[in-house]
Structure 1
Amino acid sequence: SIVVYAIFHINFASANDYSICTTYTDLDAAAPCGENGYALNFGYPICRAFIDNEWKFTTDGQAFLNCVRSCLTDFIRTDIITKNVTDCTAINNDAFSSHLPCYTRCNFCDVVLRNILPFALTYQISNFLSVNAIEQVAAVAIQCLSNLSNCLLG
């Protein structure tokens, strides 16, 4: 059964469509911030990792992933690339600023608990080492706790 799983997983993984992730390589081409910039250091690898692991998520979790990928990449295209933002610090700040609205719009708080293991297996500790990343995690956590308290208190 392990062999069947391995073959299925290899075949499934090789069929993944990473085309939406090219938004991040397009961003780096338009504003070359390199390996330490948001696009190549955070956006592109995370985009690919979530596509690779999407099969581990519930149906609602997969819907969240599709929604948030579109939301984040639309923001990159319309608010950074189209507006010709080229300062690497501004790109990093602007891109991270889109996370909370996108996560909220795509109902992250409704799916996180049922998908905690796939999220934990997809993210790397290194994804959370920047101030912007820590601030966004805190903001999302506060939003989810606020939603929970509103639900409990009615």
Structure 2
Amino acid sequence: MTTPAAVTLDERLCLALYTASRAMTSRYRPLLGELGLTYPQYLVMVLLWEEGDASVGQVGARLDLESSTLSPLLKRLEAMGLVTRTRASRDERSVTVGLTAAGRGLEARAAHVPAAICDATALTTPGQAALVAQLRTLAVELAASLEP
């Protein structure tokens, strides 16, 4: 077994994940620029395209975004005419996010993005699914290691 001190920078998982994440985000940038979206905005839109209306809390939980990040992001999407934010009549603290017609229409314009990203990774569909499963397991294990 290799001791942590013997692991070089280039062998560290943290650096590999960091550089891969930055490379992924950089690859998305030109594709999303054509749509007028940032990467976090795109993730919100994909969530709404796939799952429909959701509360702000559900969006934040699903995307692991803090409300301090999510609120301005949703305001910007609303100002762009892509989403609506509606307060629940029974509980004014609860806000539901939904797609506008323009937001639904953007889905067709964004349809090429997943294939372009998949092509850029040089991974097969099963290979990509396996990597996603490994990363999800990694995230669960890391989160569990923080629990008392």
TM range (shorter): under 0.3
TM-score w.r.t. structure 2 length? 0.26
Which structure's relative contact order is higher, taking Cα pairs within 8 Å and 6+ residues apart? Answer: 1
**Structure whose alpha-carbon radius of gyration is higher:** 2
Structure number with higher helix proportion: 1
TM-score w.r.t. structure 1 length? 0.26
Structure number with higher strand proportion: 2
